[in-house]
Structure 1
């Protein structure tokens, strides 16, 4: 029942984003070769790359952001204040729930997979291969690490 609820929430958010975009007469069309990668946000461990496809993740409103995570990359346990709606574009994300990074409890979600997490749900991720994940959410997007020592902003 919880999975169905999360999928329904993701669908509702997606419809809301489509409605917002059409209401604002927004038009964005990007081919894979046109994606412009840059450094990942400072809220993530070093090594991530990011490409904003639509909107601005730091401001209120819809956005689409792709993250490219290298093989061997890990994101420690954390939460987000808003709904997290993600699609795996390539590679595989190993996604686990909880406040500790118990890799044995993670679920591998390959390319074409999808997940939606409610606000405040503690989770972690690790990547055995280069992986691209697309976040299609409502901003502002932020991250709060369960263990403040894991926050890369504290070491930069």
Structure 2
């Protein structure tokens, strides 16, 4: 429950400025120029931006978000509580599986690539160039670092 509480607090500022579409809406259409970026939640390393396109990551149900990261960005080995479906929109994601961040064991996923991970599958990712990925999953969204000292919320 502690992780959920920390997660919820991290999203308060973001949710205040984001506009969420819901499944009750008739439809949602967003063109690239209408994507509204904000600082990513504190569960991610500093420097990333996020744009919620559909749903609400803090509540139960389907949501879609885009994550924009700068060159040199990395997310240490972690898991998610639900299936995660990801499409690389621009740039290249270097995805690795497992509990140790072995960069030599990653696969380069350029723009247009797709991957899907089941709940609780340990993985890590880094980026050698600015990259945008689109994540589709069910909320509430969570991220649990394999090594708790990698969590930006506790290592500050």
Aligning the two structures, in what range does the TM-score lie when normalised by the shorter sequence?
0.7 to 0.9
Structure 1: unaligned runs, 5 residues or longer: 1-19
Separation in structure 2 between the aligned mates of residue 106 and residue 73 of structure 1, nearest angstrom: 15
- SS of corresponding position for 2:153: helix
Number of residues paired by the alignment?
135
Q: How much has 1:137 moved relative to structure 2?
A: 1.0
Aligned equivalents of 2:25 and 2:101: distance in 1?
A: 43
Distance in 2, matches of 1:75 and 1:84, equals: 15
> Match for residue 94 of structure 1?
94
Which residue pairs with 2:42 in the alignment? 42
Q: How is 1:1-156 mapped onto 2 (pairs within 5 angstroms)? A: 21=23, 24-156=24-156
Which structure has more helix as a fraction of its residues? 1
Deviation at 1:155, TM superposition (A): 3.3
Rounded to whole Å, the distance in 1 between the matches of 2:130 and 2:142 is 23
Unaligned runs of 5+ in 2: 1-21
- Distance, in Å, in 2 between the alignment partners of 1:80 and 1:26 is 29
Rounded Cα–Cα distance in structure 1 between residues aligned with 2:45 and 2:25: 36
Aligned match of 1:6? none
Q: Aligned Cα RMSD in Å?
A: 1.2
Deviation above 2 Å: which 4+ runs of structure 1?
Answer: none
